[in-house]
Amino acid sequence: MNDQPDAVTLVDNQGWDPRILVVRCGDLVDAFIVVSERYVVLVDTLINPQTAAAMLRIAREQLTGGRQLLAINTHADWDHFWGNQLFAGPDVAHPAPIFASRRSADRFRAPEEGQQFLAEMREHEPGRFDDVRITRPTVLFDGRLLIDGGDLTLELFPTPGHQPDHVAIFIPEIGALLAGDAAESPFPLVHTADGLPLLRASLARTAALKPNTVLYCHAPVTSGPELLQANIAYFDELERRCRAARASGAAARPAEAEDVEALIAFPLAEAIPTDIKADELPDLYRRGHRTAIRAMLEWLEHS
């Protein structure tokens, strides 16, 4: 076991524009710091105040020349926004507006659910989340938002599907896309039949930008734009196999106990690139693949 599972490190630049800093939290998630003439922009705030503070230490070195600190939440999943309390609220380490999609407000409509989830996470991993205080983003926008940093423009645009509030960020001056969790390795996670077509449309939207640099929250920094195409191909193949299975009688809503990978003849090992071993992947992706199969079968029933 790793002694410091949440160690926050600055990833060596591997060829992307040096104004983007990649901040890695253990093997869990990457966040980004975009340094423009006017702003230092945190793209996500990591998982708790300790990791957010480590990210802030890296960002602070860039707060020169009158630059202001801004934060963005790509979406309100715990691994992307549980560091928010450093930037808004009573234990603020460095105040900054926190931008997020207006759709994120829906995710805070039942605060007791968020508290319940936090309580479960604290119980599951004592110590790790004890200091987290769930802190909502403070500036919500509909549709697109452009942040004019002077030399770089951050275009925040909706990319729902993984979650309804998801936004990705495109920086046109350097053709860079920060994909968040709209795309990931080996495939992005979809939770419902309704989310599936949204996620696929979001993948198409990001690929249509023809970015030359793509950085993801859950993929190696060397994945490149090719991963967008691989994610698109995953869902296309999933659809093909689900259609074939339906043609031979597979139900739209298979029973809970049903082996859906066998049902549509699409085992996880075939769904991922050959250089990734299915049994070495976090269980999250096996569950994710099965959920995606069920979502696709249900979606085909209605489309």
* CA proximity to 238, closest of 204, 278, 288: 288
The yes or no reply on residue 184 touching Zn ion (CB under 5 A) is no
Query: How many CA atoms are closer than 13 Å to the CA of 68, on its beta-carbon side?
Result: 11
Q: Which of 30, 165, 181, 298 binds Zn ion (CB under 5 A)?
A: 181
The helix/strand/coil state of 52 is helix
- Which region, judged by CB under 5 A, interacts with Zn ion, from 175-183, 204-212, 270-278, 293-301? 175-183
Q: 240 vs 287, which CB is nearer to Zn ion?
A: 287
Residue with smaller CB distance to Zn ion, 79 or 298: 79
CB nearer Zn ion, residue 79 or residue 165: 79
At a CB cut-off of 8 Å and minimum separation 6, what does 290 contact? 260, 261
Binding status of residue 79 toward Zn ion by CB under 5 A:
yes
Closest to Zn ion by CB, 43 or 263: 43
Determine the 3-state secondary structure of 94 from DSSP: coil
Which two three-digit tokens encode residue 149?
A: 């940093």
Site for Zn ion in 193-252 (CB under 5 A): none
From the CB of 143, what's the least distance to Zn ion, in Å?
Answer: 23
DSSP letter assigned to residue 248? T
Considering only the stretches 50-58, 76-84, 123-131, 236-244, report the one whose residues sit in contact with Zn ion under the rule CB under 5 A: 76-84
Which stretch in 73-81, 135-143, 268-276, 288-296 sits in contact with Zn ion by CB under 5 A? 73-81
Closer residue to Zn ion (CB): 71 or 263: 71
Compute the C-alpha angle 161/59/70, nearest 5°.
Answer: 55
Q: Give me the 108-147 binding string for Zn ion, x by CB under 5 A, dash otherwise.
A: ----------------------------------------
What percentage of the chain's residues is helix, strand, coil (to nearest 5)?
Answer: 35, 20, 45
User: Do β-strands 145-148 and 139-141 pair in parallel, antiparallel, or remain unpaired?
Assistant: unpaired
For Zn ion, the closer of residues 184 and 261 by Cβ is 184
Q: Given the rule CB under 5 A, which of 16-24, 79-87, 170-178, 187-195 is the region that contacts Zn ion?
A: 79-87
Name which of 12, 75, 83 is nearest 46 in CA terms.
Answer: 83
What is the crossing angle of helices 283-302 and 226-247, to 10°?
A: 60
Candidate ranges 54-62, 74-82, 107-115, 139-147; the one touching Zn ion (CB under 5 A): 74-82
| CA atoms 181, 224, 237, 282: torsion sign | negative
Interaction of residue 44 with Zn ion, rule CB under 5 A: no
Rank residues 98 and 297 by Cβ distance to Zn ion and give the closer one.
Answer: 98
Q: How far is the CB of 110 from Zn ion (least distance, A)?
A: 21
3-class secondary-structure state, position 69: strand
Question: Which residues sit at the interface with Zn ion, rule CB under 5 A?
Answer: 79, 181
